[in-house]
């Protein structure tokens, strides 16, 4: 067959095992230890979580997207997508399977651009799940626009000295190291004048001013840090990649991160849809089950259509990444996935919440968390609006303006062209009358 939508039998068995394992062993962690998946393991959690990680390793599903030289299986993005659909149901599952954000993206750029010494110090323990990392890029006044970044790194002898502010540096408070993006040559512009640095989190001058939280979390008790880098001195070998290479490194990291978020979103949206269907079949009102009401049936049909379309787009994009090994070449579809993702999750979670009635709006159900996750996804790794602009520009490159007054689809001109094309046959028909 030239087209095939089946998963090979051997890997499907792995997926079936992961499905059961996540449901039976991992999802309970979300209830026992909520919002603690990026906190270094203590005695109690270590006794529970470490054996789960070991079982994943025995099954050959640890960090599967990485090559064998990095401790993974080299399965690529399509197989990771199929696995991530399962892991997306649980906030703990990516950690247990060694493919959690932001560490996956940080590991990827360390693997591509790190020196052997950097890999030994940062990448290897990161891949083993012994430490966590932080990607410190966005700034309070600039968001993710690199043209507006002000954080500077200047050379001072054999060292670099970093000064500036970074915002929404996720997991900074529990990370062992930070990857900091800073301006090193302001005259070279944002695409050639910025560099990345590996900064241990206990370096003097790394000041976490606030740990910004999400709705429902206590003030100053979140996981998204506002950081003031104040005369942070790091050695010359803290430079990740080449000087001025930060933008290219960032694109490598963010491209992968965006598609991985989308993979996990499939699982979360499917969880919401499953809950909606269960409630529709279980709850009766106005003379019959909710499932018999056309409005609810419309919710289910719309959700199925949205989720199926989104899933196929994600898998197709993952397939392209595996085939071309070039995130830039797949930029249009990665941006499309990123732009579509928040709406898909929001719409399905909202419908599920509505079907659950008053219960759906309470903190005894997870729908508001899903809605908030959708809102965050519309901003993280670049706002939805920016990605739509990217998609439009990429699409327009494949089209050309028409010369003259009328568009190429103007029917009168097309009729004339059709008559001209078949004029000889048309004349023959006329002559036979």
- 362 part of a folded domain: yes
- For 281, the token pair is 């079949």
Same domain membership, residue 364 and residue 339: yes
User: Structurally, how many domains does the chain consist of?
Assistant: 3
Confidence of residue 191 (pLDDT cuts 50, 70, 90): confident
- 371 part of a folded domain: yes
- 233 part of a folded domain: yes
Q: Does the pLDDT of residue 272 top 80, yes or no?
A: yes
Same domain membership, residue 214 and residue 163: yes
What pLDDT does 83 receive? 96
Same domain membership, residue 74 and residue 52: yes
Q: Does the pLDDT of residue 254 top 90, yes or no?
A: no
Average pLDDT over residues 272-292: 96
What pLDDT does 40 receive? 84
CATH number at residue 36: 1.10.540.10
Q: Does the pLDDT of residue 408 top 80, yes or no?
A: yes
Q: Does the pLDDT of residue 286 top 70, yes or no?
A: yes
Same domain membership, residue 278 and residue 171: no
The boundaries of the domain holding residue 168 are 133-240
Last residue of a domain, one of 240, 262, 295: 240
Same domain membership, residue 390 and residue 273: yes
Q: Does the pLDDT of residue 430 top 70, yes or no?
A: no
Q: Encode burial over 410-429: b for 16+ CB neighbours within 10 A, e otherwise.
A: eeeeeeeeeeeeeeeeeeee
Question: Which residue from 126, 70, 120, 136 is spatially nearest to 95, judged by alpha carbons?
Answer: 126
Average pLDDT over residues 416-426: 92
List, in sequence order, every residue forming a beta bridge with 179; answer none if it has no partner. Answer: 135, 198
Each residue of 13-48: pLDDT tens digit? Answer: 999 999 999 999 999 999 999 988 988 888 899 999
- 416 part of a folded domain: no
Last residue of a domain, one of 215, 240, 265: 240
Last residue of a domain, one of 224, 240, 256: 240
Each residue of 230-251: pLDDT tens digit? Answer: 999 999 999 999 999 999 898 7
Q: Encode burial over 269-304: b for 16+ CB neighbours within 10 A, e otherwise.
A: bbbbbebbbebbeeeeeeeeebbebeebeebbeebe
Each residue of 328-376: pLDDT tens digit? Answer: 899 999 999 999 999 999 999 999 999 999 999 999 999 999 999 999 9
pTM of the model: 0.89
Same domain membership, residue 386 and residue 254: yes
- 49 part of a folded domain: yes
Same domain membership, residue 337 and residue 299: yes
Each residue of 43-66: pLDDT tens digit? Answer: 899 999 999 999 999 999 998 877
- 415 part of a folded domain: no
List C-alpha distances in Å: 295 to 301, 302, 368: 10, 11, 21
Between 248 and 252, name the one with better pLDDT: 248
Average pLDDT over residues 204-212: 96
Each residue of 290-305: pLDDT tens digit? Answer: 999 999 999 999 999 9
CATH number at residue 194: 2.40.110.10
Percent of the chain with pLDDT over 70: 98
Question: Which residue from 225, 156, 238 is spatially nearest to 195, judged by alpha carbons?
Answer: 238
Q: Does the pLDDT of residue 426 top 60, yes or no?
A: yes
The conformation of residue 190, written as its DSSP 8-state character, comes to T
CB atoms inside a 10 Å sphere around CB 197: 23
Same domain membership, residue 151 and residue 252: no
What pLDDT does 1 receive? 53
Rounded to the nearest integer, the mean pLDDT of the chain is: 92
- 64 part of a folded domain: yes
Percent of the chain with pLDDT over 90: 76
What pLDDT does 370 receive? 96
Question: Which residue from 160, 212, 215 is spatially nearest to 185, judged by alpha carbons?
Answer: 160
Each residue of 135-150: pLDDT tens digit? Answer: 999 999 998 888 899 9
Confidence of residue 433 (pLDDT cuts 50, 70, 90): low
Between 5 and 92, name the one with better pLDDT: 92
Q: Does the pLDDT of residue 431 top 90, yes or no?
A: no
CA–CA gap between residue 251 and residue 246 (Å, rounded): 9
Same domain membership, residue 180 and residue 214: yes
The conformation of residue 33, written as its DSSP 8-state character, comes to S
- For 312, the token pair is 């196929």
CA–CA gap between residue 307 and residue 9 (Å, rounded): 24
Average pLDDT over residues 120-138: 91
Same domain membership, residue 24 and residue 84: yes
CATH number at residue 282: 1.20.140.10
Same domain membership, residue 313 and residue 200: no
Same domain membership, residue 343 and residue 256: yes
- 401 part of a folded domain: no
What pLDDT does 2 receive? 66
């Amino acid at each position: 067959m030239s087209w095939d939508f089946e998963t090979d039998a051997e890997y499907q068995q792995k997926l079936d095992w992961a499905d059961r394992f996540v449901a039976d062993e991992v999802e309970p962690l979300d209830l026992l230890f909520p919002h603690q998946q990026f906190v270094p393991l203590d005695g109690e959690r270590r006794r529970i979580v470490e054996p789960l990680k070991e079982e994943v390793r025995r099954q050959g599903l640890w960090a599967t997207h990485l090559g064998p030289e990095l401790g993974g299986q080299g399965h690529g993005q399509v197989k990771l997508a199929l696995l991530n659909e399962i892991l997306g149901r649980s906030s703990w599952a990516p950690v247990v399977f060694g493919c959690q954000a932001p560490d996956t993206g940080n590991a990827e750029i360390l693997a591509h651009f790190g020196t052997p010494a950097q890999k030994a110090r940062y990448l290897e323990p990161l891949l083993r799940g012994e430490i966590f990392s932080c990607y410190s890029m966005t700034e309070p006044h600039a968001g993710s626009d690199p043209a507006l970044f002000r954080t500077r790194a200047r050379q001072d002898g054999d060292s670099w000295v970093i000064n500036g502010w970074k915002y929404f540096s996720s997991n900074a408070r529990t990370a062992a190291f930070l990857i900091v993006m800073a301006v090193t040559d302001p005259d070279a512009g944002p695409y050639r004048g910025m560099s990345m640095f590996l900064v241990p989190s206990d370096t003097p001058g790394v000041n976490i001013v606030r740990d910004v939280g999400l709705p429902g979390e206590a003030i100053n008790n979140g996981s998204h840090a506002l950081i003031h880098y104040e005369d942070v001195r790091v050695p010359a070998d803290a430079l990740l990649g080449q000087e001025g290479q930060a933008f290219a490194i960032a694109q490598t990291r963010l491209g992968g991160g965006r598609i991985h978020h989308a993979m996990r979103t499939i699982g979360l949206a499917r969880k919401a849809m499953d809950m909606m269907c269960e409630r529709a079949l279980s709850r009766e009102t106005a003379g019959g089950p909710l499932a018999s009401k056309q409005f609810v049936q419309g919710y289910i049909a719309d959700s199925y259509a949205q989720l199926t379309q989104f899933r196929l787009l994600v898998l197709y994009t993952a397939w392209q990444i595996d085939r071309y090994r070039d995130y830039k070449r797949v930029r249009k579809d990665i941006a499309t996935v990123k732009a579509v993702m928040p709406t898909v999750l929001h719409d399905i979670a909202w419908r599920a919440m509505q079907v659950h009635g008053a219960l759906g709006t309470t903190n005894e159900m997870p729908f508001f968390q899903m809605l908030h996750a959708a809102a965050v996804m519309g901003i993280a790794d670049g706002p939805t609006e920016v990605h739509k602009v990217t998609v439009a520009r990429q699409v327009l490159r494949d089209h050309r303006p028409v010369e003259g007054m009328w568009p190429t689809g103007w029917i009168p001109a097309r009729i004339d062209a059709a008559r001209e094309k078949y004029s000889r046959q048309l004349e023959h028909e006329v002559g036979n009358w």
